[in-house]
Chain A
Amino acid sequence: MKTLVIAEHDNAVLHPVTLHAVTAALQFGGEIDLLVAGHDCAVVAGQARRIAGVARVLHADAAHYADQLAEPLTELLRSVLAGTADHYTHVVAAAGGFARNLLPRVAARLGVAPVTDVVRIESPETFVRPIYAGNVLATVQSLDALKMLTVRATAFAAAPTGGDCPVLPLAAAADPACSRLVARQRVQGGRPDLGSARVVVSGGRALGSADNFRRLLEPLADTLNAALGASRAAVDAGFVGNDSQVGQTGRVVAPELYIAVGISGAIQHVAGMKDSRVIVAINRDADAPIFGIADYGLVADIFEAVPALTQALAGCGEGNFSS
């Protein structure tokens, strides 16, 4: 039993979801190698070798890995995995935009059926994953010799650091040179990322406008050092960018505290936040389905309740909410 975990990073910082993928990989009980492929990313390999439980970091460094494009990375992974099909038994990456783009491509190259969005590992070949927007949990058994999976970071704890394993250089594979990054924009709001924030404040259509969305929710999010999310309805209405969408087709989050403001609770939204530890819903409509899954429901006018909540939270001291 031997697992290859694919690290997610931006050539400077190892993305914390990688720690969760390592925890999932540890459940197989075998050795774990961690692949760090990028450009001028020795610093990331340095962070990766500190993860407890990792046996070796494989570090591939080449200009064509700088932008984490699927085509060159697939060729690299194929060369690592194809030569050793009887060597690695599992490939694991954290479910998210990066792995969703890459892993199926690698799998098809190797003739493997991947299992995406795994939330529980039952055995080395049996995995549980949500289907139908999280309304059903399917237990599936992989019949392939090599198992390839993406795991939901929210379903596995972060692996601790404190390890000290060797970093082995890995030769780059040829560059297919059929795709090129032209531009990349990340929304910088000074707030924690939706996927890893301890608290998420989300708004729905009831906010009424982009202006209200900002005016009402930003102070609350600031007070709690929370990430800002939104329902699909709020995104479609143009209140906020689509990268804020929480739901089946957007981001899946599971923070300690999720505050849903003016969100009705459509199935597709609930699929993206129902695993949060504590859910608070504030909505004027007492019959909104969101109250069916909320731990604490407040039927109130959001335009009065939210500022009052922000004020109450601000009054109980700052510095207690760092994520």
Chain B
Amino acid sequence: MKVLVAVKRVVDHNVKVRVLADGSDVDIGSAKRAMNPFDEIAVEEAVRLKEAGVASEVVVVSCGVAACQDTLRSALAMGADRAVLVDTAAELQPLAVARLLHALCQREQPQLVICGKQAIDDDAGQTGQMLAALLDWPQATNASKLRPGDGHIEVTREIDGGSEVLALTLPAVLTTDLRLNEPRFVSLPNLMKAKKKPVDSVTPESLGVDVAPRLRTLHMAPPPARTPGVRVDSVAQLMERLRAEAQVI
């Protein structure tokens, strides 16, 4: 079966972003970029499905500026077979990305789509579910274990306070949680090999998708800072403060 994986280029998770002085945006100018960590888990899972003989081909897709090719190359170096860049400088919100992926799925006809459960920049956590809705396919979000079968897949997913197992009819859309796997490190030979793998380029226009944002960002601000606390020297002092001052015990 063909597996399609969506990957997003985001500010590296170690970078602490700041808001521009005028509150119009975040200041991420030259900050280091990387593949969204949950998407990396999605690529890893797809490659493992291929290594296990379950997947026949792994196609990775990224939507955004030309530099997203770097992200696609990382995915190819991890073991994906080929890549598609939806090349656009437009601001892309989750619904627009889901529509772009929907259009690509109609072209590529995958049996399984794997997305990260959320991107660590906008923290929206929507794209996979929206894509599933547009395709009218079943979904399993926050997946922590996959058991592919014939025409269906069993997915263990994390829920509040526990976990559940769903059986989905294929084709289906999954989103990954942290515990699904630990992505591999990319070796230099694989990085070199990835340079020879094909990267297609399309545009939202060629896919016939309107990506106009439906949410307008009016303002950005840092969250209110907590007032600095105090150091206590002993458990007894802590108890006294919690009782008399904070009145929380």
Contacts and interface: CB of A to CB of B under 8 A. Distances in A.
B19 interface: yes
B129 A104 contact: yes
Interface string B199-228: 000000000000001111111111100101
A127 to B, nearest CB: 9
Interface string A82-116: 00000000000000111011111111110111111
Contact of B248 (A103, A186, A257): A257
A277 to B, nearest CB: 7
A142 B215 contact: yes
Given A107-B95, A185-B164, A309 B238 contact: yes
Contacts of B214: 112-113, 142-144
Helix, strand, loop or mixed for chain A's interface? mixed
Most-contacted residue by chain A among B16, B98, B127, B231 (CB, 10 A): B231
B148 to A, nearest CB: 14
Contact of A305 (B132, B138, B163, B235): B235
Contacts of B166: 69, 179-182
Interface in A241-278: 242-243, 248-249, 251, 256-257, 267-268, 274, 277-278
Nearest to B224: A137
Contacts of B126: 104, 107, 114, 116
Contact of A193 (B118, B120, B161, B233): B161
Interface magnitude class on chain B: 35 or more
Nearest to A96: B160
Given A101-B129, A256-B248, A320-B249, A178 B137 contact: yes
Contacts of B169: 178-179
A63 interface: no
B230 A108 contact: no
Interface size class of A (residues with CB under 8 A): 35 or more
A194 B18 CA distance: 30
Given A104-B94, A109-B133, A138-B217, A97 B159 contact: yes
A243 B164 contact: no
Interface in A279-323: 279-280, 291-300, 305, 308-309, 312-313, 316, 320-321
A101 B126 CA distance: 8
B120 A242 contact: no
A18 interface: no
B176 to A, nearest CB: 11
Contact of B120 (A144, A248, A251): A248
Given A101-B142, A297-B232, 8 more contacts: A97-B159, A100-B129, A105-B133, A117-B123, A136-B220, A178-B172, A242-B179, A296-B242
29 contacts: A70-B139, A105-B129, A105-B139, A107-B95, A107-B130, A108-B133, A136-B222, A136-B223, A140-B215, A178-B168, A180-B168, A181-B166, A182-B167, A185-B163, A185-B164, A236-B178, A242-B177, A243-B161, A274-B226, A279-B229, A296-B232, A297-B229, A298-B231, A298-B233, A298-B235, A300-B234, A305-B235, A312-B235, A313-B239
